[in-house]
Amino acid sequence: MIKIENISKSFDGVSVLENLNLYIRENEFLTLLGPSGCGKTTLLRILGGFEEPDTGRILFEGKDISLLAPNKRPLNTVFQKDTLFYHMSVADNIAFGLKIKGQTKSYIQDKVHYALHLVGLDGFGERFPDSLSGGQAQRIQIARAIVNEPKVLLLDEPLSALDLKLRQDMQYELIRLKEELGITFIYVTHDQEEALTMSDTIVVMNGGRIQQIGTPEDIYNEPQNAFVADFIGDGNIFDAIMIRDRLVQLLGAEFECVDTGFGEMNPVDVIIRPEDVELVSPEEGTITGVVTSVIFKGVHYEMDVLAHNYHWMAHSTKMAPEGSPVGIRIDPFNIQVMHKPIREDQETLVNE
Amino acid sequence: MNRIRRQRPALLAGPYLLWSVAFTLIPLVLIFWFGMTDADNHFTWSNLAAIGNSDNLKALALALLLAAIATVLCLLLAYPIALILAGLKSGKSALIAMLFILPMWMNFLLRTIAWQNLLEHNGVINTILKALHLPELILINTPGAVILGMVYNFLPFMILPLYTVISKIDREVVMAARDLGANSWQTFARITLPLSKPGIISGITMVFVPALTTFVITDLLGGGKIQLIGNTIEQEFIQGSSWHVGSGLSIVLMVFVIASMALIAKYDPQGTGTVIGGQR
Ligand SMILES: Nc1ncnc2c1ncn2[C@@H]1O[C@H](COP(=O)(O)OP(=O)(O)O)[C@@H](O)[C@H]1O
Ligand SMILES: [Mg+2]
């Protein structure tokens, strides 16, 4: 439906987006996920027509829309900031796009009513934006966009200003809204949990480049580089050596794995998720260590195991007491081998 | 602790209070005293009623008319300038804003006398016209010259509040309007213009009031041929006719100023335009 081709953008000589290529399917919930400053908003602005790319073009249903003015594009944006029109009532805000298009009064009234209902703010039409809470303002922004029946809705971190509880509620509401409207969502967030819960497809970005595109499961279970592994969920990340197909050496010990095609005696990165670290008796373990801390997390225990000079993070429903010697075993299937970063943006974030 | 905090601001306001008592309150009381009494210190309405005299009425009407025209012209000139200034990158706009504000640092009289030299019968413009063998123009001592003087002198007071308010309008709010389908003209009419209303209102106030009461501009560029209410009052005081009538007319003029501000305030229910740039 939308094809982004070779988009690059730099500000004052600093590159913000580098040669981006992306395909967005109809009716998809696609999330752009990445740390703050990685270029998500810039990409969204290029899609919306507020920023001109230095190179590349955007195709919408096969037509090049790169040169169209924002008001001519078949998409609407929900901005990161509160951009409601404070000199108009909530109803007039929502009606703005419809009035511009010259719709009839009764049509506009129905639409405004319907949109307010969709976002759960029936009866708010007569209020003014300065009487709304952050969450309500954000929902009115969404209502203001969707009354125009865009084929694609761009949402720039629409929930980032809300507190946790409201954010979770709104996540479900947005998913419901998308089902009801049957339109494509391009959603921007820096919150990996939000991305994992809501999306059909996640595009992980860092340093203005796409790191990985895939379903939430793909991204979580098979990260393609250390950055993705580190950014999505918790993980134990190792400098390792691929001895040969299906055998990897990390922390001086050899582990069986299922990955092939990384060559022989090649340096690689390995990620093992905490829930995949099996704590067994020392005799049964591939390597052995000592539990150094235990935290109860509700559903599971989070344990820190010092083994071969590395602090392993392990999640388990069974608790091994602090100070006890344990063995560590990993199912070959749960060892994810990745190529070494060839660029800075593929490396783990230093301060995380 | 609490008491100290409360007393400090009061103390700091002291000099200003002293100033306003000495230079605003006392003169005001004096004007009311003179305005409501005759030469024998008896109470009278006659000084106020002097406005009913046909010459004075004409001077007031002309002042209202010229001030209104000058204000509208200032608004029409200043708005595009403010819009351009606000759209520029911050470094550049500060520089160019300076260019517009610079004349304000020059003495008001000097600037107006400069215009007098330009417009005079054998002034700069007519000299050039003569040199080019073009017919000479009557420029000085016309209502047009007075309006020009008003616009020239008061334009910065229109630009400044407009610029302040427009540059505070969030770029993303404007983007949002474009995103919802408005073209640039619709975005201006429905978003930028209404959001800049506080600036328009304070600009109008800051131009209309001094233009309505001016006598210097009329003296220099109207050459005694254009008589505004400000000139009438000035003459009552300076040429020694009557401080009582002068004060009476001042009170009437004050009522007009207050009425026009009230009228403006009606279009600005939140009172945001009363302070320069006081947006929301
Ligand atoms: N208009 C602009 N001028 C200069 N630099 C900009 C501009 N917009 C964004 N940037 C820079 O581009 C980078 C990416 O910004 P942005 O796309 O907003 O990131 P994100 O939305 O992922 O946090 C940032 O380093 C930001 O400072
Ligand atoms: Mg952003």
A249-274: pLDDT as tens digits: 999 999 999 999 999 999 999 999 99
Which of B170, B180, B268 is the best substitution to test chain A (most A C-beta atoms within 10 A)?
Answer: B180
- Interface residue A14 vs chain B (CB under 8 A): no
Q: Which of A185, A188, A181 is nearest to A204 (CA)?
A: A188
What would you measure as the largest C-alpha separation in chain A, in angstroms?
A: 78
**Residues A79, A35 share a domain:** yes
**Residues A146, A278 share a domain:** no
Q: At A175, list the tokens.
A: 């998913």
Q: How far is the CA of A228 from the centre of ligand 1 (A)?
A: 21
Report ipTM for this prediction: 0.84
| Dihedral sign, Cα of residue A38, residue A341, residue A285, residue A329 | positive
Q: At A121, list the tokens.
A: 């703010």
The answer to whether the CB of A256 falls within 8 A of the CB of A327 is no
The answer to whether the CB of A229 falls within 8 A of the CB of A271 is yes
- Interface residue B191 vs chain A (CB under 8 A): yes
**Domain-located, residue A227:** no
Exposure class string for A297-323: b at 16+ Cβ within 10 A, else e? eeebbebbbebeeeebbbbeeeebeee
Q: At B277, list the tokens.
A: 């740039």
Kindly give the number of the ligand 1 atom that is closest to the alpha carbon of A208. 14
**Domain-located, residue A239:** yes
Q: How far is the CA of A42 from the centre of ligand 2 (A)?
A: 7
B46-267: which CATH topology?
Answer: MetI-like fold (1.10.3720)
CATH number at residue A244: 2.40.50.140
Find the Cα–Cα–Cα–Cα dihedral B254, B259, B260, B265, rounded to 10°.
130
Residue numbers of the domain that contains A291? 235-342
* B170, B179, B194 member nearest A87 (Cβ): B194
CA–CA dist A239, A270 (Å, integer): 7
**Residues A262, A215 share a domain:** no
**Per-residue model confidence (pLDDT) at position B241:** 75
**Per-residue model confidence (pLDDT) at position B122:** 84
Which residues have C-beta within 8 Å of that of residue B210, sequence separation ≥ 6? Answer: B154, B157
CA–CA dist A81, A83 (Å, integer): 6
CA–CA dist A31, A103 (Å, integer): 32
**Per-residue model confidence (pLDDT) at position A75:** 94
Q: Domain boundary residue among A187, A221, A255?
A: A221
Q: Which of A337, A319, A334, A318 is nearest to A262 (CA)?
A: A337
Mutate to test the pocket of ligand 1, among A7, A9, A20, A42 (most ligand atoms within 8 A of CB): A42
The answer to whether the CB of A291 falls within 8 A of the CB of A326 is yes
pLDDT in tens, A16-37: 999 999 999 999 999 999 999 9
- Helix (H/G/I), strand (E/B), else coil: B146: helix
Q: Domain boundary residue among A163, A195, A221?
A: A221
User: Looking at chain A, which runs of residues are DSSP E strands?
Assistant: 2-11, 14-24, 29-33, 55-60, 63-64, 75-78, 152-156, 184-189, 201-206, 209-214, 236-244, 247-250, 253-256, 266-272, 278-280, 287-296, 301-307, 310-316, 325-329, 336-338
Q: At B237, list the tokens.
A: 């005081």
∠B97-B103-B104 over CA atoms, to 5°?
A: 90
Query: CA end-to-end span of chain B, whole Å?
Result: 32
Which residues have C-beta within 8 Å of that of residue B217, sequence separation ≥ 6? Answer: B112, B146, B149, B150, B153
CA–CA dist A151, B15 (Å, integer): 64
Q: Nearest residue on chain B to A47, judged by CA atoms?
A: B179
| Dihedral sign, Cα of residue B134, residue B135, residue B141, residue B145 | negative
Q: At A279, list the tokens.
A: 């704590």
**Residues A115, A68 share a domain:** yes
Q: How far is CA A87 from CA A80, A146, A196, B115, B280, in A?
A: 20, 21, 38, 42, 10
**φ/ψ of residue B266, rounded to 5:** -60, -30
**Domain-located, residue A352:** no
Mutate to test the pocket of ligand 1, among A8, A12, A16 (most ligand atoms within 8 A of CB): A16
- Interface residue A42 vs chain B (CB under 8 A): no
**Residues A285, A216 share a domain:** no
Residues of B within 8 A of A186 (CB-CB) are none
Give, for B247, the enclosing helix (H) or strand (E): helix B243-266
> Minimal Cα–Cα distance from B86 to chain A, Å?
18
β-pair partners for A202:
A31, A214
CA–CA dist A181, A111 (Å, integer): 13
**Domain-located, residue A347:** no
**Per-residue model confidence (pLDDT) at position B5:** 54
CATH number at residue A197: 3.40.50.300
Q: pLDDT > 70: what percent of chain A?
A: 99
Whole-prediction pTM: 0.82
* Protein residue with its CA nearest to atom 24 in ligand 1: A37
Instruction: Report the mean per-residue pLDDT for chain A.
Output: 93
CA–CA dist A34, B181 (Å, integer): 29
- Strands A336-338 and A75-78, by their bridges, are unpaired
> Minimal Cα–Cα distance from B264 to chain A, Å?
18
- Interface residue A102 vs chain B (CB under 8 A): no
pLDDT in tens, A204-213: 999 999 999 9
Residues of A within 8 A of B183 (CB-CB) are 69, 71
Taking CB atoms and an 8 Å limit, are A70 and B186 in contact across chains?
no
CA–CA dist A112, A127 (Å, integer): 13
**Per-residue model confidence (pLDDT) at position A349:** 74
**Residues A160, A45 share a domain:** yes
pLDDT in tens, A229-241: 999 988 899 999 9
**Domain-located, residue A215:** yes
> Minimal Cα–Cα distance from A196 to chain B, Å?
28
Q: Which residues line ligand 1 (CB under 6 A)?
A: A 11, 16, 34, 36-42
Mean pLDDT across A312-324: 94
* Protein residue with its CA nearest to atom 1 in ligand 1: A11
- Helix (H/G/I), strand (E/B), else coil: A89: coil
A 60-99 residues inside an 8 A Cβ radius of B: 69-71, 76-77, 79, 81, 83-87, 96-97
> Amino acid identity of A115?
A
**Residues A308, A217 share a domain:** no
**Domain-located, residue A312:** yes
**Residues A256, A283 share a domain:** yes
**Residues A170, A140 share a domain:** yes
The answer to whether the CB of A318 falls within 8 A of the CB of A202 is no
Taking CB atoms and an 8 Å limit, are B173 and A71 in contact across chains?
no
**Per-residue model confidence (pLDDT) at position A352:** 40
Residues of B within 8 A of A50 (CB-CB) are 175, 178-179
- Interface residue A297 vs chain B (CB under 8 A): no
**Domain-located, residue A229:** no
Residues of A within 8 A of B182 (CB-CB) are 71, 96, 100
CA–CA dist A319, A36 (Å, integer): 36
* A71, A86, A87 member nearest B181 (Cβ): A71
**Domain-located, residue A317:** yes
* Protein residue with its CA nearest to atom 27 in ligand 1: A37
**Residues A180, A304 share a domain:** no
How many domains does chain A fold into? 2
Locus of tokens 């944006």? A77
Q: Which ligand is nearest to the CA of A40?
A: 1
Mutate to test the pocket of ligand 1, among A12, A36, A41, A210 (most ligand atoms within 8 A of CB): A41
> Amino acid identity of B169?
I
Which residues make up the CATH 1.10.3720.10 domain(s) of chain B?
46-267
CA–CA dist A89, A125 (Å, integer): 7
Q: Domain boundary residue among A194, A221, A248?
A: A221
Q: Which ligand is nearest to the CA of A35?
A: 1
Block means of pLDDT (10 residues each) for chain B, length 280 residues? 57 85 90 91 90 91 96 96 84 75 78 87 87 86 93 91 92 95 95 94 92 92 88 88 89 90 74 41
pLDDT at residue A225 greater than cutoff 70: yes
> Minimal Cα–Cα distance from A347 to chain B, Å?
33
Q: What is the DSSP letter of A209?
A: E
> Minimal Cα–Cα distance from B184 to chain A, Å?
9
